[in-house]
Structure 1
Amino acid sequence: MKLASAIFVASLYAIQALGQHATRQDFDDFSKATKGRWSGEITWIADWPGQGKKGDKVTVYKNISINEDGNSIFNKGFGGNGCTSSITVYNANTKQILQLGADSGGRMWSSIWSRQGDKWIATSIGSLADGKKIEATLTVTPTDHGNTLTTTGYLTIGGKKSDDLHDVLHRVSK
C-alpha cells in the first residue's frame, strides 16, 4: 500500500510539472459539462487487458457524479469485459484539474485537464499492468447543447502510437 501511495504522489507531482493551469470556475464548468449518465458505441483503439481487444466494438456506459459538495468528480465506467473508475479534483495550490484513474485490467493513468475555448484537453501519463508506459493527449468536445461528448486524440503505448481515438457518448440523464 505504501508503494502504491508513493507512486500516486510521484505521478501527480510529475504531471503537475506540465504547467497547464485552470481556475476553480473551469473545474466547476468541467463538472457541469461531464456530470450525468452517458452511453455510446465505441471501438477499442488498442488491446486493453481485462476489457477487450483492438478493433472490438463495445457499448460503454458512464456515470459521472459531482461529490464532496462540488469538490470532486467521480467517474464509473463499464465497457467491453471490464470497468474503470476515476476521481477528478481541483488543486487550488497548483491551479490544476487533476484526475487519477484505474481499470479492471490493471491500467492506471493520471491526467491534467485544461480548457481551450469550449473544449477540454487532457494530457495523461500511465501504464498497463505489465508496466508499458502510456502517454495521451485527448480533446473532449461537448456539442448538442452539452448532450454529446466527442473524445478525440491519440495514445502511445510502450512508445508505439495507437490508432486515432474517436469516441462519441450521449447523455442519458443529468
Structure 2
Amino acid sequence: MKKIIPTTLLMFGCLAGLLYSAFAAPTANAVAADKKTNMQSSPAEFKEFCGIMKGRWIGEVIWITDWPGFGKKGDKVTAYMDFSVAEGGNVMVGRFFAGPGSGTIMVHYDARTRQIWERAVSSGGNVWNHLVYKHDGEWHVQTTGSTADGKKIAGSSVRHFSDKGKTQRWRGQWTIAGKKLDPLRDVFRHLGD
C-alpha cells in the first residue's frame, strides 16, 4: 500500500503537468509580443473575416523575395484570389494564382484556443500559418511558416480594408531565416462573389 501512494502521486503529477502544458501554452501564444494585444477572436469575428474575404479578388503583388515557382524579388505580378465558405460556415477555402505559381488556402476557427488560422501552401513548396485577429479595427496577421528548403518564415502584417471592403492592402514585414525581406505592399480589389 505504501508503494502505491507515491506511484499514484507521481502519475497524477505527470498527468497534471501534461495537461497544463497542453492547455496553458496556446493561451500564452495568444498574446502578441507587446504583451498587451490579445490575439484571440470570437466566432463572430471569424464570420466577419470570412464575410469580408469571400469572393474573387484581383491584385498587384510585388515579390518581397525570390519565391521559387513564382518570381524574383521586386517583380510586379497580377494575382487572383478566390475564397468561399464551406462546411456549414466552419471553414473558408481559397485559391491563389500569381504568375506561374498557385496556392491553396484554408481558414478556420479553433474554438479551444479562440484563434482564427489561415493556412496556405504554394506550388513552390512554401507553407504559411497566419494567426489572424482584429485589433483597433484592423485585421492583424502573425505569420510563421517555412520555405520549401526548410528555412523559417516569420513576420507580422496588417490587412487594411477600405472602400466598404472592396479594397484590401497588405502592409508588414517578414523574415526568412532571420533575414529581413522587403516590406509587404500588396493591393487587392474585390471583383464579386
Asked if Structure 1 and Structure 2 have the same fold, meaning a TM-score greater than 0.5 normalized by the shorter chain, the answer is: yes
Q: Secondary structure at the match of 1:31?
A: helix
Q: In 2, distance between residues paired with 1:34 and 1:17? A: 28
* Cα distance change on mapping 1:142 and 1:15 into 2, 3 Å: farther
Unmatched tracts of structure 1, length 5 or more: 1-13
Give the match's secondary structure for 2:46.
helix
The aligned counterpart of 1:44 is: 63
Partner of 2:29: 18
User: Is structure 2 residue 135 aligned with structure 1 residue 116?
Assistant: yes
**Aligned counterpart for 2:168 among listed residues 136, 144, 149:** 149
Aligned CA-pair RMSD: 1.4
* Partner Cα distance (1:84, 1:118) in 2: 28
The 2-side partners of 1:112 and 1:18 are apart by: 10
Assess if the C-alpha contact under 8 Å between 1:88 and 1:100 holds in 2. Answer: yes
Aligned partner of 1:54 in structure 2 is: 73
Match of 1:77 among 76, 93, 96: 96
Aligned length: 161
**Aligned residue number for residue 47 of structure 2:** 28
Rounded Cα–Cα distance in structure 1 between residues aligned with 2:112 and 2:26: 14
Runs of 4 or more consecutive aligned structure 1 residues displaced over 3 Å after TM superposition = 14-17
The percent identity for this pair of structures is 39
TM-score, normalised relative to structure 2: 0.80
Offset from partner CA, 1:37-92 (integer Å, 9 cap, x none): 00012211111011111011100000011111111011200002100111011111
Q: Which has the higher helix share?
A: 2
Give, in whole Å, the separation in 1 of the partners of 2:48 and 2:74.
33
Paired with 2:145 and 2:26, the residues of 1 have a C-alpha distance of: 10
1:11 match? none
Does structure 2 retain, via aligned residues, the 8 Å contact 1:15–1:110? Answer: no
Separation in 1 of the partners of 2:99 and 2:74?
11
RCO higher in structure (CA 8 A, sep ≥6): 1
TM-score between both structures, scaled by the size of structure 1:
0.88
User: Normalized per residue, which structure has more strand?
Assistant: 1
Deviation at 1:124, TM superposition (A): 1.1
